[in-house]
Amino acid sequence: MAGLQLKNIRKSYGAVDVIHGIDLDIKQGEFVVFVGPSGCGKSTLLRMIAGLEEISGGEMYIAERLVNDVPPSQRGIAMVFQSYALYPHMTVYDNMAFGMRIAKESKEEIDRRVRSAADILQLTKYLDRLPKALSGGQRQRVAIGRAICRDPKVFLFDEPLSNLDAALRVATRIEIAKLSESMPDTTMIYVTHDQVEAMTLADRIVVLSGGHIEQVGPPLELYERPANLFVAQFIGSPAMNVIPAKITAAGPQTTVTLTGGKSVTLDIPTPASENGKAASFGIRPEDLQIATDENFLFEGTVAIVEALGEVTLLYIEGLVDGQPIIAKLPGILDIKRGQKVRFTGDKAKLHMFNSEGRSYRS
């Protein structure tokens, strides 16, 4: 099977460790997305899978074959880079065929694969054009088509949409999703810092931070049940609101007192040893609602109103020093700067984290 297994994979540059013992299994046909902030190690990990970076420690298997010392050309992978890396003097057809010609494939096989890839990516009518006559999205599709023609076991995408404008990003993301559906037995690994790409494309997301894996799981699992504060605030836009709190009654249900003195009882069990300890209370901006009675979580003053049409973002001050609470409310609201607003939320969607940032739900 054309899956991948990473066993205690490490990467060091001299005395500096950048990947710290990563263990990960990726099944054949999975679409896995690596996400994380700049410098977290996601591109380095992808380049190690491709064979472009030497593995400092651990074992890597592709299709159950140890590939630590196997050169990139013999790993059965194809990589799509952030830049298109097309030959400007070659037509679309020749760009897509170039790798197969180097591999001395027959003319008939080259033509079959190029035209098949062009059909998948809707490039057939552009095969005779030079790259300069294409849009950015079309050039990226040519780069993807060149990878398809290699008939790889594993596709690697290194932030392939970051050079495109917003509209082209959406269109090309849809093309990549269709490509994944049309090649159900091909494993795909995709690196991005854009969580929208991760949430919409991935079967599973791998969240990385500082060369460590923070959490692995389906997109909605990471959204609904983040393992820690880092994942909670990285997945979701705007980020989850986090309010300092103190556990005032631990047990099958937990009561926490928020900054400002408001107490909330949650259906989240905590051991008795947590009683009196500091914690963090979390709620996503889209899970907040305007309170119409005295049963509210908190209140504050509206500092900024961002009316986006489909939603309105309210930045609320007066609860957490130096950091506004953000509410993401549907539709267009008649709320002004300086207005006092009270908020509540569905208790089933509230989160709580211990003093080390670990979720009490996980």
214 burial (CB, 10 Å; 0-12 / 13-18 / 19+) is: buried
How many other C-beta atoms are found inside a 10 Å radius of the C-beta of residue 229? 20
Query: What's residue 169's pLDDT?
Result: 81
Confidence of residue 136 (pLDDT cuts 50, 70, 90): confident
Query: What's residue 1's pLDDT?
Result: 47
Q: pTM surpassing 0.85?
A: yes
Q: Does one domain contain both 39 and 179?
A: yes
Say yes or no to pLDDT of 56 above 90: yes
Structurally, the chain folds into a number of domains equal to 2
Give residue for tokens 């049309």: 182
**Residue that is last in its domain, among 234, 251, 269:** 234
pLDDT digits (tens, 9 = 90+) for 151-180: 888 999 998 888 777 777 888 888 888 888
Beta-strand runs (E) in the chain: 4-13, 16-26, 31-35, 57-62, 65-66, 77-80, 154-158, 187-191, 204-209, 212-217, 241-249, 254-258, 263-266, 278-283, 288-290, 298-307, 311-317, 325-330, 340-345, 351-353
Quick check: helix, strand or coil at residue 153? coil
Query: What's residue 85's pLDDT?
Result: 83
Here the tokens at position 248 are 């005032």
**Residue that is last in its domain, among 188, 204, 234:** 234
Please spell the DSSP secondary structure of 21-47, one letter per residue.
EEEEEE-TT-EEEEE-STTSSHHHHHH
Which letter does DSSP use for residue 319 in this model? S
Q: Does one domain contain both 347 and 230?
A: no
**Residue that is last in its domain, among 219, 234, 249:** 234
Q: Does one domain contain both 12 and 137?
A: yes
- Report the share of the chain in percent with pLDDT over 90: 56
pLDDT digits (tens, 9 = 90+) for 181-239: 888 888 999 999 888 899 999 999 999 999 999 999 999 999 999 999 999 999 998 99
Q: Does one domain contain both 154 and 210?
A: yes
Query: What's residue 259's pLDDT?
Result: 77
Domain with residue 290: its CATH number is: 2.40.50.140
Query: What's residue 150's pLDDT?
Result: 82
Give residue for tokens 């690697």: 156
Q: Does one domain contain both 207 and 116?
A: yes
335 within a domain of the structure (yes/no): yes
Q: Does one domain contain both 168 and 255?
A: no
pLDDT digits (tens, 9 = 90+) for 61-108: 998 899 999 999 888 898 888 788 899 999 999 999 998 898 888 999
Which residues form the domain of 154?
A: 4-234
User: What is the residue-averaged pLDDT of the chain?
Assistant: 89
Q: Return all residues near 310 (Cβ < 8 A) that are at least 6 apart.
A: 330, 331
Closest CA to 155 of 120, 130, 191: 191
Give residue for tokens 């090649």: 183
Please spell the DSSP secondary structure of 179-229, one letter per residue.
HHHH-TTSEEEEE-S-HHHHHHH-SEEEEEETTEEEEEE-HHHHHHS-SBH
Say yes or no to pLDDT of 109 above 70: yes
Domain with residue 152: its CATH number is: 3.40.50.300
Q: Does one domain contain both 279 and 159?
A: no
